[in-house]
Amino acid sequence: MSTQTALSILFTHTQPQQGFRLLELPPDLEELLTSKDAPLLELKSPSFALAQAVKDPSAQEYVNLCTPTKTYRIRQVHSSNSIHIIQPSHGEISQEDIKVVEEEAGEGGGLNLPDEAVTAIAKCGSTLELHVPEGGFSAIKFLEKALRLYDPRSGDDDGDMTMGENASEGVLSVTQHRELRDQVCADIPVSAAQCEAGWLELCAFVYGKQEVSCWRPSARMRLNVWKRFVEGALLQGIDLEKQFLVGDLWKSVLDDDSDPPFPRPLLEALVRRLCTEDERPPLSEEIKWASFDKMQCIQWVGEICLAATAPMASSAVGRSDFLRVWKDCLPESWRNDATLSKLPEGSYQSPDPSAMFFVESSQRKQTSKVPATGAAAAKAKTTRNWHELLKNQTRR
């Protein structure tokens, strides 16, 4: 073996080692963090009670990293090769932090140390990586458990939603809405934007007199509110496909000699859900103007109608009966567009050719758990062994 003539660099290690965790960043997150206006990130996991409610036994074992718009699952990945974090000495070597063999001692018993040295200050046998599952993340299953169900006829409103002459007393300001919504979303392990998307999808709202709470209307209640939309718009000459004042729609559903049929925040939640995206203001702003997207409304009404009439296999309804009820819930000019092909894929199942029942969105996409084989498995396989990675790079 040839003798190396280059100057040696002493390699030492501290004792005890420091506690470091290495986190691999995907390119999009790295770009976000290095941007001029980098946002604050959140580490979120559900509370124990919420994790038990959604029947997620692993919820206490993970934490998610959330940007304002995206969510990443943090998971630990072990490697067969340890990673050392080293620190240069910069010409200053502390004898308290190094270990050298006795032969390094000089004639006077001192240590003949080189001018340069690197010190291993930490050893990492694993790294943390950020993962996004195939179906992404959703706040809906958590919001369904965190929000109180509003369905007065079934008694699920706990008696707090009773209307009366002073029903407007339960209407809160936009700031109060945001504060209460933020409290609910604090324990939901997804980004703020994904929480807002789930809130919007469920038509959630804030209301209460004796006790202010966050609510989600039942499918039956959402369908009833929609029917009042159609009836009121017809009587008052409101074209739902053209821009209208939300206040005018609220007046159209009120009866002159009776209490409001439901809270105004509930009406505004449904209007916000159904209005065209370019006219939909953020949840932090009041909605004053809106116009409905015809095809989106038809699809939504079909889903809600099926969820209200046939929520499970034991209550399956005939297809012809369902289509008739669906069409009766739509404006006259929209009836012919109500066909089964307009429903989202996987939104219903058929126990027999003539019947159907509703399927929740969380149960529609079941990821295949069959392991990949052959070439597909070889292509999907990744390695975290550094010598294999270097070998692959050399071959290129």
Instruction: For 178-208, write each residue's pLDDT tens digit.
Output: 899 999 999 899 999 999 999 999 999 999 8
Residues 206-263: tens digit of each pLDDT: 998 777 899 999 999 999 999 999 999 999 999 999 999 999 999 999 977 678 899 9
Which residues, including other chains, have CB under 8 Å from residue 4's CB and lie 6 or more apart? none
Interval 309-319 mean pLDDT: 96
Interval 380-392 mean pLDDT: 48
Sheet order of strands, 317-318 included: 317-318, 355-358, 348-349
CA dihedral 293, 297, 300, 305 (to 10 degrees): 180
Three-state DSSP class for residue 211:
coil
Q: Tell me, what's the pLDDT at 170?
A: 54
Three-state DSSP class for residue 395:
helix
pLDDT band at 155 (very low <50, low <70, confident <90, very high): low
pLDDT band at 92 (very low <50, low <70, confident <90, very high): low
Residues 131-142: tens digit of each pLDDT: 998 888 999 999
Distance between CA atoms of residues 175 and 346, nearest Å: 38
Q: How many CA atoms lie within 13 A of 197 on its CB side?
A: 12
Indicate the pTM of the whole model: 0.80
Q: How many residues does the chain have?
A: 396
Q: Tell me, what's the pLDDT at 84?
A: 87
Instruction: Produce one character per residue of 103-123: b if its CB has 16 or more CB atoms within 10 Å, e if not.
Output: eeeeeeeeeebeeebebbbbe
Three-state DSSP class for residue 390:
helix
Q: Tell me, what's the pLDDT at 221?
A: 97
Q: Tell me, what's the pLDDT at 100?
A: 47
For the chain, where are the E strands, in sequence order? 10-13, 23-24, 42-44, 63-66, 71-88, 117-131, 148-150, 205-207, 213-217, 244-245, 289-290, 317-318, 348-349, 355-358
Q: Tell me, what's the pLDDT at 158?
A: 44
**Least-confidence region, from 102-116, 154-168, 295-309:** 154-168
Q: Tell me, what's the pLDDT at 257?
A: 65
Q: Tell me, what's the pLDDT at 119?
A: 83
Query: What are the structural domain ranges in the chain?
Result: 10-94+113-131, 140-292, 295-362
Which residues face 279 on adjacent strands? Answer: none
Closest C-alpha to 361, from 201, 147, 199: 201
Task: Locate 169 and state its tokens.
Answer: 């007393």
